[in-house]
Homo-oligomer: A and B are copies of this chain.
Amino acid sequence: MSLVVAKFGGSSVATPERVKNIAHLLVERKSQGDDVVAVVSAMGSTTDNLIDLAKAVNAHPSGREMDNLMSTGELVSMSVLALAIEQLGEKAMGMNGRQVGIITNDDFGNAQIKEIHTDRIHEALKEGYIVIVAGFQGIDEDGDITTLGRGGSDTTAVAIAASLGADVCEIYTDVDGVYSADPRVVGKAQKLDRISYEEMLELAAAGSGVLHKRCVEFARNFDVKIHTRSSFENVPGTIVEDMIDVEKAIVSGVAYDNSEAKFTLRGVEDTQGVAAKVFNELAKRKISVDMIIQNISENGFTDISFTSPTSELENVKKILEELLTKLSARSYQINDNISKISIVGAGMKANSGVAAKMFQTLADEGINISMISTSDIRTSVVIDQTQFKHATQCLHTAFGLDGTEIFEDNTLSEQELKDKANKGR
């Protein structure tokens, strides 16, 4: 008998039929003797519909009232799943953020979990209930409802699993695990049986959308084993856990990210603190910056390049225009037709020459690199977006990741791939 926390994403509970399937799955687990806590996202497009509703009455909906609104999506799916379980003759108890004891700070829209009081879940499990938790939300110290931002429901699940000391946190989605590359781009991508927290974090940061960075960090910090798997077929997925003693593949996966744009400020005087001015300005407006390059100075002038989400393009543009005057820079450039390609692998730490092999492979294929960044277990490059598929494929082959199964190339449009990169919570 084990204690299982199972999280179901929006597509897994999108219709009453799917909710009924989840109910069967949970009742089955319960009948095998497990204690079961389910965490749910909002049904299907509910979240988008709520945002549309808010925008119909408020140009910039945000803050406490917006969080009140956004939290209702998960309350609905929580209740419907509980009712579906009751229909099967099992006891179910839905719990909102307050009932489940998730206390956050009051950063509405992107609240951080501070503590979890799981007494009520413990009690309900002891009384034989299947507990259904509304994901993505908590309350602050005033008792006001907060939401956790992107990846919120995953974070809820991992945080509850950590608090309860659950044996595993299962994350059910519409894909059946973590792949060595996006199967829609690399036909010979392989499902990974296991991956370390660190690799998963780098893959998430590199644009692989299966798990959010934040929930993986939480899992690593509290040593929660994650099993990410399909809610549509009963097959094993990918285990994410600490993998200290395992021999490591040099490269575990290749990821791409088409959601960023590259910004360059040209002809900036190369004096002390000039870079600080640029990035302070971006930080003040809460615009996240990924890669940064400052060119070697020439005649006392330099260029500064960075990447930020394409969704912030207009905001960054405004800042660059202000900086142009402030810093007496020559000009600025924006390129939203870029792709970030990353290779990730715990074995890179101990193996030099991996980055060099990556650059050589791309060069051999005639793919030009415009930016580079690295970490212990990741190397990322920025290339022209028209070449992202080819780059991902040839790196996948070069690092020996090709499997035998051949996925059909679904030839997703670039827009679809962008949407994929931008979706989800």
Contacts and interface: CB of A to CB of B under 8 A. Distances in A.
Interface of A: 16, 19-20, 23, 50, 53-54, 56-59, 61, 63-66, 68-69, 71-72, 75-76, 78-84, 86-87, 92-94, 96, 98-99, 143-145
A276 to B, nearest CB: 35
B79 A58 contact: no
B80 A54 contact: yes
Given A72-B75, A93-B64, A99-B143, A80 B53 contact: yes
B72 A58 contact: no
Contact of A87 (B58, B76, B92): B58
A98 B53 contact: no
Contacts of A80: 53-54, 57, 69
A79 B69 contact: yes
A121 to B, nearest CB: 14
Nearest to A65: B82
Contact of A79 (B20, B65, B81): B65
A65 B92 contact: yes
Contact of A65 (B53, B58, B86, B145): B86
Q: Name the residue among A83, A87, A94 with the largest chain B CB count within 10 angstroms.
A: A83
Contact of A84 (B58, B75, B145): B58
Complex copy number for this chain: 2
Given A58-B84, A72-B79, A98-B98, 11 more contacts: A20-B57, A53-B80, A57-B80, A57-B87, A58-B83, A63-B86, A65-B94, A68-B78, A69-B79, A69-B80, A96-B145
Given A16-B53, A98-B98, A72 B76 contact: yes
Given A65-B92, A68-B94, A92-B65, A54 B83 contact: yes
Contacts of A65: 79, 82-83, 86, 92-94
A40 to B, nearest CB: 12
Contacts of A59: 87
Given A68-B75, A69-B80, A79-B69, A16 B86 contact: no
A341 to B, nearest CB: 40
A197 B23 CA distance: 48
6 contacts: A20-B57, A54-B83, A58-B83, A58-B84, A68-B94, A75-B75
A50 B76 contact: yes
